Structure 1
Amino acid sequence: MPDLTHGDDAAAVNSLRSALMRLSRRLKHQRVDESLSPTEMSVLGTLANCGSATPGELARKEHVQPPSMTRIVALLEAKGLVRLEPHPEDRRQKVVTQTEQAETMLEESRRKRNAFLAGLIDGLDEDEWAKLRAAAPVLEKLAHL
């Protein structure tokens, strides 16, 4: 295992962190709806990827406190992006489901971000693009560890 705290390996980790943060910030600015916070967009993305969930489940997945998630869900509901439905087994709880409006907005946002990223990739040569394609599964793995 490489020593990631010293020398060239530490410099590579630092460079990777810095580049990923800058690229992430630039991608976050490629939004369709500027009125939504990054957290609200993340909640919609989680619902799109994982399906309906209770506010408590969403809070755990998004690493926020339940009262914060309750406020976020209320804001998204007021904007017509989610709806609250009765929990099928526990009448005390609600289930949060994204609306068609949210699905459409997320798809437009993905298209805009993909187009932005494709524009950046156009500036790479074939060797750089091949390396980036090869790195994509590793970056995906890191994102889910």
Structure 2
Amino acid sequence: MQLSSSWKTASLPHIITAVKSRMRQVAWRRLAPFGLSPQQYQLLMAMSEKDGRCHGDLARCTWMDKPTASRILRTLQDRGLVRAEADPSHGRRVLFTLEPAGEALVASLQGFRQYMREGMEQGLPEGDRAQLRSVLASVMDNLDRMEAELIESGSEPKSEQK
């Protein structure tokens, strides 16, 4: 799809939302044969990088809220891909590890991971890739600062209060 010239003048939040939406659409299609959602994929990959993580750590490293991570982890447990075990060093914490079926699925997903990384960076010179990462890191730092300011002040705009 060719983007219109208005794309170049769109607001940064609009562009980021559009990119995220399109990335999820592509991911859903590529993950469908595995019976996984993009969020399930993210949690499985996080566990493959470091097994034995608590749900709070998994939520943080995948940018999910804790209730969403808990719900998805339960689904992965029900499918026999993930095991929950009590943390021997912390009485109330549960650690999540991959079951053998989860490890096999993660191994079969390496092609997907490479497809997404290479596909999204196709045609971008290395310098542009590095610059894009740097710019997006700055945007994320700004968002983290904005969130911390809201938390610190204890006030949120009325439209965002629950």
TM-score for the superposition, normalised by structure 1? 0.62
Cα drift, residue 40 of structure 1: 1.6
Deviations 1:108-130 (A, max 9, x none): 22314535776898xx7xxxx3x
Partner SS, residue 85 of structure 1: strand
Aligned: 1:54 with 2:46: no
Deviations 1:3-44 (A, max 9, x none): xxxx9974595896445643452234211412x222222211
CA contact (8 A) 2:80 2:99 kept: yes
Cα drift, residue 105 of structure 1: 1.6
Q: CA-atom RMSD, angstroms?
A: 3.7
Distance 1:9 1:69, change over 3 A: closer
Stretches of structure 1 that go unaligned for 5 or more consecutive residues are: 1-6
Percentage of matched positions with identical amino acids:
22
Specify the alignment match of 2:40 in structure 1.
40
Q: Distance in 1 between matches of 2:60 and 2:120?
A: 34
Specify the alignment match of 2:79 in structure 1.
79
Deviations 1:35-61 (A, max 9, x none): x22222221122223432112322333
Stretches of structure 2 that go unaligned for 5 or more consecutive residues are: 1-5, 141-162
Partner SS, residue 96 of structure 1: strand
Partner SS, residue 47 of structure 1: helix
Higher relative contact order (CA 8 A, sep 6+): 1
Distance 1:83 1:139, change over 3 A: farther
Cα drift, residue 89 of structure 1: 0.8
CA contact (8 A) 2:81 2:99 kept: yes
How do 1:1-145 and structure 2 match up within 5 A?
A: 10-11=9-10, 17=16, 18=18, 21-31=21-31, 32-34=33-35, 36-61=36-61, 62-66=63-67, 68-112=68-112, 114-115=114-115, 129=123, 131-141=124-134, 142=136, 145=140
TM-score for the superposition, normalised by structure 2? 0.57
Q: Distance in 2 between matches of 1:78 and 1:8?
A: 43
2:37 maps to amino acid: S
CA contact (8 A) 2:54 2:94 kept: yes
Q: Distance in 1 between matches of 2:103 and 2:92?
A: 27
CA contact (8 A) 1:48 1:103 kept: yes
Distance 1:118 1:96, change over 3 A: closer
More moved, 36-45 vs 8-17: 8-17
